[in-house]
Structure 1
Amino acid sequence: MRGYFAIGAEGISKPMNLGALMRTANAFGASFVFSVGAEPKLKVAYKADTSKTFESVPYYQWDAISDMALPKGCQLVGIELTDDAVELPEFRHPKAAAYVLGRERGDLSPEMLARCDHVVKIPTKFCINVSLAGALVMYDRALSMGSFRDRPVMPGGPKED
């Protein structure tokens, strides 16, 4: 898979969710992980992150949206349930992307949404856990940008003639 990605959350308040997001990001090969406007207790996040992401993947903790410093050419993709958002299965992931998720029991701020190059929604009836949402986005990226073969039409693959 070419390109790179990062994932983070705005206003995350539960360090265990940050730790779980970081662990999953490490598993999917994220280039970096970040938070914006959060003050997580990093010692608690370390406990949730059994893969010790902090040792191998950079973590950026920005106090405000204006502090965010993404690499040149990196597109910011907001993950949010809005009426005008593109549904995840129809979204074409940018080669260089930073995905930002909203806080627990809340949304991405209007300022963050304005900063996003794209807004994408996971086709669910209501919001799901931030670390689970992150996992779904990273899995979709891997499927759509990886060099996987098409799935067989029938279980076990097509029958040979």
Structure 2
Amino acid sequence: MQIAKQKISIGLVNPKNPVNVASILRAAGCYGVASVFYTGQRYRFAKDFNADTKAFHKVIPTVGVDSLREVVPEGASVVAVELVEGATPLPAFEHPDNAFYILGPEDGSVGADILSWCDSVVYVPTYSCMNLAATANVLLYDRLSKSDYKSGDALIRQSRDTNNKAKIN
């Protein structure tokens, strides 16, 4: 499986649900994320859960760390994604070329201790809070939609499931 890596990494603050992490790994593979880091013990204890990741867990390093601050990729801008007053709405946000996105736990928030060293804080405007995997997917799609991405039938053929051969006549 060939995945075009970008200068994008994701940091997860003490993720709770292995299904959400598996979904984030799938999104990471779809959108070219280079690596995923996570803190806390909850996912470490549950990571053997086998969900559909389309084998992205084999090609995207997923690393447990004690501190996300210590693994910020070189030259990356740190962007927290959190429903916090004063944050920038995602539709108005310009994504940095080299980004380290930090997402909070499903049952909590990115703490003030982390927010204090982030370069930007954004939120997804919704009528209620989304789960962790949905937030990651929206964030990464927003980044793609604002970029100069390749489009067309070749990309469709590369991206779709092997059982999908549909064409518009």
- Which TM-score tier does this pair reach, normalised by the shorter chain? 0.7 to 0.9
Q: Gaps (5+ residues) in structure 1?
A: 150-161
1:43 is aligned to 2:48: yes
Same amino acid, percent of matched pairs: 30
Relative to the length of structure 2, the TM-score reads 0.79
Aligned-pair CA distance for 1:125: 2.2
Q: Which residue does 1:29 correspond to in 2?
A: 32
- Residue 101 (structure 2) pairs with residue 96 (structure 1): no
Aligned residues: 146
Q: Which has the higher contact order (CA 8 A, sep 6+)?
A: 1
> Could you tell which deviates more after superposition, 85-94 or 106-115?
106-115
Match for residue 16 of structure 2?
A: 13
- Tell me the amino acid that sits aligned with residue 42 of structure 1: K
Give the 3 Å change call, closer, same or farther, for CA 12–95 of structure 1 in structure 2.
same
Q: Which amino acid aligns with 2:14?
A: G
Distance in structure 2 (CA, Å) of the matches to 1:50 and 1:145: 25
Shift of 1:24: 1.0
The residue aligned with 1:158 is: none
1:1-161 alignment runs, 5 A limit: 4-40=7-43, 41-44=46-49, 47-66=50-69, 68-147=70-149
What are the ranges of 5 or more consecutive residues in structure 2 without an aligned counterpart? Answer: 152-169
Secondary structure at the aligned position of 1:48 is classed as coil
Partner of 1:153: none
Q: CA RMSD in A?
A: 2.0
